[in-house]
Amino acid sequence: DFDHVLETLFNTSVDLDSLHPDSVLEEKWIKEVVTRSGMKFKWATLSERKERPNRDAQRRPLADPSVLVSRPPVVTIMGHVDHGKTTLLDSLRKSQIVSMEAGGITQHIGAFLVQVPTGEKITFLDTPGHSAFSSMRARGVNATDIIILVVAADDGVMNQTVESIQHAKRAEVPIIVAVNKCDKPQADPQRVKQELLAHDVVCEEFGGDVQAIHISALKGDNLPALTEATVALAEVLELKADPSGPVEGLVIESRTDKGKGPVTTAIVQRGTLKRGCFLVAGRCWAKVRFLYDDNGQVVTEAGPSAAVQVVGWKELPSAGETILEVESEQRAKEVVEWRTHEEEEQKLLEDQSAISLKHKLHLEEYQQKRAELSHLSWRMRKAALYQANKTRCATRPSERTQSEQPNLPLIIKGDVDGSVETLLNMLDTYDAQQQCQLEVVSFGIGDISEKDVTMAETFGGSIYGFNVAAARPVQQLAAKKGVPLRLHSVIYKLLEQLKEELSSKLPPLV
Ligand code: GDP
């Protein structure tokens, strides 16, 4: 009996979110409560989701150790501003060009490879301070095996030095200290190492295991010692990867190139990237047309720890995004479609949890009201509560106390951000002067979805779409649920219809 459920719910202050989504019975009742009271139902989408097959692409489980081969370390340079990170990267890169016979033209692709005289390779990421890169760092420096911490010997440990140490610790990435600017007369490398002790970075001479190399990035002094230390640490770390199977990697840089179109630099983490393969990253996909190395040379493949520029993206994925290879174009598109859908759903869930917060407040209010009415008989009290609930749901929270104004809940959809914003702006000004309140319960970009219809139904509102379509099943659903679906491609026509609808809600003039 619905009345009983409602009574129980409002009596016991049930946290809707805590009810188990698997319970069909509860779900049925709660749906009813939600629909009648204008609240939004949070886990309807979760249980629906369970029934859908997972169309996403994911990293593979760890490989069998027997197939693993050694790979070069991927190194990030971090440190305080002006301590010489850029200078160090430039010098390392230059040292490489000098040693290269062909002397190719270096391209800034976000990473470069250094080969030490003994043949080992090191991939350096050269995007410190890059905003997208910090988001990647925030995700755990997962692109990096070793951090070279640059500390200027004339300045010592500073804020960002400490931040870098904290980053490294959190991500469990080992540090090598490059004590820089040792060419300066006022340089005091010893002080730097002592200061580092306070941050649990214990250099070898103090009995710890952190290598500290005194360098001058500007003059190129002692850089070979730094690369040797890096190679030595990499050996200790026994860095290995599986060079076969579908590629896994990371986007470390992405931009639109005038000639090449959307390009990204990828660090390969697993598998071997080749021309012609299909990749997905975030909500973008690519058929790899070309691969370039940091000398601008076309390469045919790139194995673990290599950084290559990938050409062939249909849209530009963001730095920090995981790259996964899939078997076909169709699969790539499917994954992107799935993820787009998931993201929308996630957004919806977030919107809904905002609503569910509102709803909790609503419960409190309800209980208070209930207490006030405690002198009435059970039945009368319930009737009064119903009435209160109906009024509350039909008005904005701010107007709740004074107004019995008619109200029109709206769901606004548009083709692009701009059009939605324009509409919302117009509605704002319009709203202020009207007797009938507009309540935009949801807005967004894209075609009308079944979710929009459900939401409109829940709120008893209408859907207005500008330059968007509604698929036949969505139209049918709207018709079935009695949700007005108004699609326009001319703004003033849309507003005209809205005005009409608003007037129709007003009480007739006496
Ligand atoms: P970043 O902000 O950490 O990238 O620092 P930069 O590489 O831009 O260097 C900041 C300043 O310090 C520049 O003027 C560099 O020329 C100077 N610098 C960097 N490394 C050295 C060095 O080894 N010796 C000296 N004397 N100056 C350096």
Residue 254 and residue 299: Cα distance in Å, rounded?
Answer: 19
User: Residue 114, Cβ neighbours under 10 Å: how many?
Assistant: 21
* Best probe residue, ligand 1, of 82, 91, 126, 147 (max atoms within 8 Å of C-beta): 82
288: buried, middle or exposed (CB in 10 Å: 19+, 13-18, 0-12)? Answer: buried
* HEC string for 107-138: CCCCEEEEECCCCCEEEEECCCCCHHHHHHHH
Tell me if 462 CB under 6 Å of ligand 1: no
DSSP string across 217-251:
TTTTBTHHHHHHHHHHHHHHHT-EE--SSS-EEEE
Atom of ligand 1 nearest to the CA of 81: 2
Looking at the predicted structure, is the pLDDT value of residue 65 above 90?
Answer: no
Residue 77 and residue 469: Cα distance in Å, rounded?
Answer: 49
- Exposure of 298 in the CB half-sphere (CA atoms within 13 A): 7
Give residue 170 CA to ligand 1 midpoint distance, Å: 27
- Exposure of 129 in the CB half-sphere (CA atoms within 13 A): 10
Q: What average pLDDT score do residues 102-120 get?
A: 77
* Best probe residue, ligand 1, of 82, 87, 223 (max atoms within 8 Å of C-beta): 87
Note whether 307 and 113 are within 8 A (CB).
Answer: yes
Q: What is the mean pLDDT of the chain?
A: 78
pTM for the full predicted model: 0.62
State residue 465's pLDDT score: 94
* 3 state DSSP class of 295: coil
Q: How confident is the model at residue 501 (pLDDT cuts 50, 70, 90)?
A: confident
State residue 57's pLDDT score: 82
* Range from 156-160, 401-405, 456-460 carrying the lowest mean pLDDT: 401-405
* 3 state DSSP class of 355: helix
Give residue 218 CA to ligand 1 midpoint distance, Å: 7
Q: How far is CA 361 from the centre of its chain?
A: 30
pLDDT digits (tens, 9 = 90+) for 237-290: 999 999 999 999 998 888 888 888 899 999 999 999 999 999 999 999 999 999
Residue 441 and residue 456: Cα distance in Å, rounded?
Answer: 8
Residue 422 and residue 67: Cα distance in Å, rounded?
Answer: 57
Residue 30 and residue 41: Cα distance in Å, rounded?
Answer: 8
Task: Return the percentage of the chain with pLDDT > 90, whole number.
Answer: 40
Q: How far is CA 490 from the centre of its chain?
A: 34
Atom of ligand 1 nearest to the CA of 219: 23
Give residue 152 CA to ligand 1 midpoint distance, Å: 8
Note whether 463 and 413 are within 8 A (CB).
Answer: yes
pLDDT digits (tens, 9 = 90+) for 113-148: 999 988 999 999 886 444 445 555 544 446 789 999
Q: What average pLDDT score do residues 438-460 get?
A: 82
What residue's CA is closest to ligand 1, atom 2?
A: 82
ipTM: 0.99
Q: What average pLDDT score do residues 368-381 get?
A: 53
- Exposure of 30 in the CB half-sphere (CA atoms within 13 A): 21
Note whether 464 and 413 are within 8 A (CB).
Answer: yes
